[in-house]
Structure 1
Amino acid sequence: MSNLKKLEFNALDITDNNYLTWILDAEIHLNAMGLGDTIKEGNVKTEQEKAKAMIFLRNHLHEGLKTEYLTVKDLLNLWYDLKERYDHQKTVILPKARYDWLHLRLQDYKSVSEYNSAMFKITSQLKLCGENVTDKDMLEKTYSTFHANNMLLQQQYRERGFTKYSELISVLLLAEQNNELLIKNHQAPPTGSTPFSEVNTVTNNDFGRGRRFGRGRGHARGCGFGHGRGHKYRNFSNFKRKPHHQKWTKNEEMPKGNMMGQRVESICHHCGMKGH
């Protein structure tokens, strides 16, 4: 049955996969509660304070571990029993962490952020196993693993004399972001190169057909029904010319070629027809 009380951090797994992080979390929370000395030899804490620390630790144990250590009532005994049982994790994790540190290279990662995440993961494991990694070590690891094409850039960063790894990684992240913006601007289409929308294309096609069938605008253009400019006056004799002030009525016969005559109210000054 799982703990009903809300845990401050993950309980110690019986498979010992999270012992190193668990022991660190336990020490930090006990110190925050003012009970950090209860897990140290020769402490002068009261029995009540030791009992509070004992309840806190047992609450953050797997149910199987609680059962196995049910008879252990002394806080220090419980603490050292768990340490003796799981402290071998350092001998398991340390070789892997050392291997990962040895093969950590900036050039193997697609982004600075991914490299930075891997750097902190490896250094945290090394520190949990008792090996300290300084900012100088992290800086040198980063400088020495630049890609061969960026040797000049690497030398420029060295000359800036960074003393903290966080300062170098901030500059690299900013440079990477600016480089991405430059690439996006370079790949963006130039102003005015966006093609016209489909609506404009349809409108232009309709306008072209209108000019062909006598609906175009302009001086004497489109009044005839011929094809081409040489036929624009050819068919005028087929229609009765009316004064330009006279309008067609409903009873009068409309020109067969102008099917859209009723939609246009203006009258052509040259042919006396509507619908241009």
Structure 2
Amino acid sequence: MANLAKLEFAALDLSGDNFLSWVLDAKIHLRANGLGQTIVDENNASPEENAKAMIFLRRHIHEALKSEYVVVDEPLVLWKALGERYDHQKTMTLPRARYEWTHLRFQDYKSVSEYNSAMHRITSLMRLCGENISEEDMLEKTLSTFHASNVLLQQQYRHSSFKKYSELVSCLLLAEQNNELLLKNHQSRPTGSAPLPEINAASQEVNATSSRGNIHKRGRWGKRGHWQGNRKNRGARSEGLGPRSGPSTNGKNASRNKGKAQMSHVPRNVDSLVTDVVQRDIGCAHVVRPGIWRILSSFT
């Protein structure tokens, strides 16, 4: 049956592979709950404290182990029994940790973070097994396993006289980040080339150049093929006074030009304009499209 309460840490496996980390987690949580004395020899723990510690320990062991130690009702007895059963894990883990420590090299990892993670994992296993690894050992292991092409860099770090391994790792992480930025800037474009202009800026410059060219080409004509005339005549046309007329213009041409001028200033919605004029003057509600210009001319 699965545990009803949520586990504070991983339960002790039947094989005992996680026994070392399980012992550390169990001690910390028992002390945090005020039950640390229940697993110590010659303790003065009350029956209530022993019961709470027993419940906690049984909840964090494998189901098969619960069945094997079902008759044990004292936390100290269960603690010692599990220690005798899985204490050999130290003798099995320590040689493997020593081997990994011996072959640990900084140059074998792609990034500083990966190397730092491996360093802490190996040293933690060795410390759990009773093997002490000092800060000097970690510094020497890192500096002595640099790649041969980084001899000068390794000497510079040695002259920095770091006292803690964490200080050296911080400098290595910063240098790694700066190198990545340098490579990105170098690979962004060929050496000696200028960056390409932005698309919007280039299009605006082209439009400005073309507009200035059109102004010079038009001159006094304004639009292509249309004479603007002088300012006085343009004002007359805008007021609906018709085109320019000279002495040679007869009456027939004048009336024709007058009609053309009025027709040229008819708004786009001419149907609504003609309808309004007809309804206002003769009360006609229906206008035939082909006769629009004749109706408009007759009322002007």
> Taking structure 2 as the reference length, what is the TM-score of the superposition?
0.66
1:235 aligned residue: none
1:25 aligned residue: 25
Distance 1:196 1:166, change over 3 A: closer
Per-residue CA distance 1:33-81 (angstroms, 9 max, x = gap)? 1211211111122222122111111111111111111001122111111
1:88 aligned residue: 88
Cα distance in structure 1, aligned partners of 2:215 and 2:15: 88
Cα distance in structure 1, aligned partners of 2:2 and 2:29: 21
* CA positional deviation for 1:217: 8.7
1:41 aligns with 2:41: yes
Cα distance in structure 1, aligned partners of 2:216 and 2:32: 89
Q: Give the aligned residue type for 2:23.
A: I
Q: Give the aligned residue type for 1:137.
A: D
Q: Give the aligned residue type for 1:73.
A: D
Normalized per residue, which structure has more helix?
Answer: 2
* CA positional deviation for 1:17: 2.1
2:7 aligned residue: 7
Cα distance in structure 1, aligned partners of 2:6 and 2:165: 37
Per-residue CA distance 1:126-165 (angstroms, 9 max, x = gap)? 1111111111110110111111111111111111111111
2:196 aligned residue: 194
Q: Give the aligned residue type for 1:92.
A: M
Cα distance in structure 1, aligned partners of 2:196 and 2:14: 63
1:104 aligned residue: 104
Structure 1: give runs of 5+ residues left out of the alignment: 205-215, 221-242, 244-276
Q: Give the aligned residue type for 2:155.
A: Q
* CA positional deviation for 1:85: 1.0
* CA positional deviation for 1:192: 5.1
* CA positional deviation for 1:100: 0.6
Cα distance in structure 2, aligned partners of 1:47 and 1:90: 32
> Taking structure 1 as the reference length, what is the TM-score of the superposition?
0.71
Cα distance in structure 2, aligned partners of 1:115 and 1:196: 42
Question: 1:11-160 alignment to 2 at 5 Å?
Answer: 11-160=11-160
* CA positional deviation for 1:84: 1.1
* SS state at 1:12 partner: coil
Per-residue CA distance 1:73-110 (angstroms, 9 max, x = gap)? 12211111111111111122111111110000001111
Q: Give the aligned residue type for 2:149.
A: N
* CA positional deviation for 1:194: 2.9
Q: Give the aligned residue type for 2:34.
A: G
Per-residue CA distance 1:212-270 (angstroms, 9 max, x = gap)? xxxx99759xxxxxxxxxxxxxxxxxxxxxx9xxxxxxxxxxxxxxxxxxxxxxxxxxx
Cα distance in structure 2, aligned partners of 1:60 and 1:196: 63
* CA positional deviation for 1:191: 8.0
Aligned length: 236
- Of 175-184 and 187-196, more deviation after overlay is shown by 187-196
Cα distance in structure 2, aligned partners of 1:48 and 1:145: 55
* SS state at 2:14 partner: coil
Cα distance in structure 2, aligned partners of 1:196 and 1:218: 28
Cα distance in structure 2, aligned partners of 1:23 and 1:195: 64
2:170 aligned residue: 170
Q: Give the aligned residue type for 1:170.
A: S
Cα distance in structure 2, aligned partners of 1:20 and 1:91: 11
Q: Give the aligned residue type for 1:136.
A: E
Per-residue CA distance 1:186-231 (angstroms, 9 max, x = gap)? 2223885337769x89xx9xxxxxxxxxxx99759xxxxxxxxxxx
2:295 aligned residue: none
* CA positional deviation for 1:176: 1.1
* CA positional deviation for 1:113: 0.7
Cα distance in structure 1, aligned partners of 2:13 and 2:196: 60
CA RMSD of aligned residues (A): 3.6
* SS state at 2:132 partner: coil
* SS state at 1:2 partner: coil
Cα distance in structure 2, aligned partners of 1:168 and 1:14: 40
Q: Give the aligned residue type for 2:40.
A: K
Q: Give the aligned residue type for 1:157.
A: Y
